[in-house]
């Protein structure tokens, strides 16, 4: 279980410094530092007034760190005491297993909400991290693309489901499948913004143009509020010249649409899913954990999307 406390550190030139501490049974680690205690509570107060931010994590190319980002970013924002819902809409169900849930053991999943008339609220499950909930997925979703074709207003099914529960959350993250089919279109239609994980390799760049074209089409036809939250570099290897070249070229073209945080290749980060844990529960001292905490801070600091 992960716990969160506020800890006043010391007085510094008349200003009370504050750390936000997270701890498990085994370790105590400071993650966010505020030089002014008042600024910390002011941010929390403002956060409670902001309309829920619905962010989908999408890339039609598999193996780029999409699910790793969905699981660990959700967990990292949850430890900042923001109420978070992670929706797994990928038939592979990797976010489901990555959060410690059985893909085949669930009686009802997001599939039943999309196509069997069940309410999304009934699908929500608590996780080992306070403030973080999840809706599970499994291979039942494989046939959803075909079944959705027969549905009226099929592109907005997920959007309507999210509206049932959005008042209860500060952030809703959607882990999309590695395709540009109806499940991803539903996710983009429901979202305020999209995070695009981009592996630091040449082939990953080739698919970026197609995804951006799809986002433009969704924005024109279905979801005018959709924006790019940011392009996130993943699996960065500082020893590889190609990684540096990819980062340079993407930053040159997209400038402020690129996150400052870069997710490195990290053994502990790749091991965590096999234990059914986010990296914060598996190894909070790892470079992977540090990177996703930094990404969470970056998103919380931006706060541009407010649902309007």
- What ranges do the domains of the chain cover? 1-49, 50-302
Share of the chain above pLDDT 90, in %: 63
Q: Output the pLDDT for position 305.
A: 39
Tell me which residue of 159, 83, 155 sits closest to 124, measured CA to CA.
83
Q: Output the pLDDT for position 178.
A: 92
Q: Output the pLDDT for position 10.
A: 44
CA distance 174 to 152: 22
Q: Output the pLDDT for position 96.
A: 96
Q: Output the pLDDT for position 117.
A: 80
99-105 LR contacts (CB < 8 Å, sep 24+): 99/71, 99/127, 99/134, 99/276, 99/278, 100/127, 100/128, 100/276, 100/277, 101/125, 101/134, 101/136, 101/276, 103/136, 103/137, 103/138, 103/139, 104/138
Q: Output the pLDDT for position 262.
A: 96
The mean pLDDT value of the chain amounts to: 84
Q: What is the mean pLDDT of residues 123-136?
A: 95
Q: Is the pLDDT reported for residue 215 higher than 90?
A: yes
Q: Output the pLDDT for position 150.
A: 85
Q: What is the mean pLDDT of residues 146-155?
A: 88
Q: Is the pLDDT reported for residue 143 higher than 70?
A: yes
Q: Output the pLDDT for position 234.
A: 96
Q: Is the pLDDT reported for residue 51 higher than 50?
A: yes
Q: Output the pLDDT for position 214.
A: 92
Q: Looking at domain 50-302, which of 3.30.70.20, 3.40.50.300, 3.40.50.2000, 1.20.1530.20 is its CATH number?
A: 3.40.50.300
Q: What is the pLDDT of residues 73-105, one digit of tens each?
A: 999 999 999 999 999 999 999 999 999 999 887
CA distance 133 to 307: 20
Give, for 73, the enclosing helix (H) or strand (E): helix 66-78
Q: Is the pLDDT reported for residue 34 higher than 60?
A: no
Residues 6+ apart with CB under 8 A from 119: 113, 161, 164
Q: Output the pLDDT for position 40.
A: 42
Strands 258-264, 171-175: pairing kind = unpaired
Q: Is the pLDDT reported for residue 231 higher than 80?
A: yes
CA distance 302 to 300: 6
SS3 5: strand
Query: Of 24-33, 138-147, 239-248, 269-278, where does mean pLDDT reach its minimum?
Result: 24-33
pTM over 0.85: no
Alpha helices in 181-227 (DSSP H): 182-190, 202-206, 208-221
Share of the chain above pLDDT 70, in %: 82
């Amino acid at each position: 279980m992960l716990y969160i406390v506020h800890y006043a550190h010391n007085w510094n030139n008349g200003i009370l410094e504050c750390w936000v501490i997270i701890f498990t049974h085994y370790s105590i680690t400071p993650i966010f530092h505020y030089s002014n205690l008042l600024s910390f509570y002011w941010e929390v107060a403002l956060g409670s007034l902001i309309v829920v931010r619905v962010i989908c994590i999408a890339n039609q190319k598999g193996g780029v760190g999409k699910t790793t980002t969905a699981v660990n970013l959700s967990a990292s924002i949850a430890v900042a005491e923001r109420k978070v819902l992670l929706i797994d809409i990928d038939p592979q169900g990797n976010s489901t297993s990555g959060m410690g849930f059985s893909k085949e053991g669930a009686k009802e999943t997001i599939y039943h909400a999309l196509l069997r008339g069940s309410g999304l609220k009934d699908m929500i499950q608590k996780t080992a991290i306070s403030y973080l909930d999840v809706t599970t997925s499994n291979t039942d979703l494989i046939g959803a693309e075909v079944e959705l074709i027969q549905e009226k207003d099929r592109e907005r099914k997920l959007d309507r489901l999210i509206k049932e529960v959005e008042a209860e959350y500060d952030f809703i993250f959607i882990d999309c499948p590695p395709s540009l089919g109806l499940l991803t279109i539903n996710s983009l239609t429901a979202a305020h913004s999209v995070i695009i994980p981009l592996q630091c390799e040449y082939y990953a760049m080739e698919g970026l143009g197609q995804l951006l074209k799809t986002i433009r089409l969704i924005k024109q036809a279905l979801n005018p509020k959709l924006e790019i939250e940011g392009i996130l570099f993943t699996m960065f290897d500082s020893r590889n010249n190609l990684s540096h070249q990819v980062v340079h070229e993407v930053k040159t073209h997209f400038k402020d649409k690129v996150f400052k945080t870069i997710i490195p290749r990290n053994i502990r980060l790749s091991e965590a899913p096999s234990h059914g844990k986010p990296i914060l529960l598996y190894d909070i001292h790892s470079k992977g954990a540090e990177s996703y905490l930094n990404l969470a801070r970056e998103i919380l600091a931006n706060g541009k999307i407010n649902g309007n």
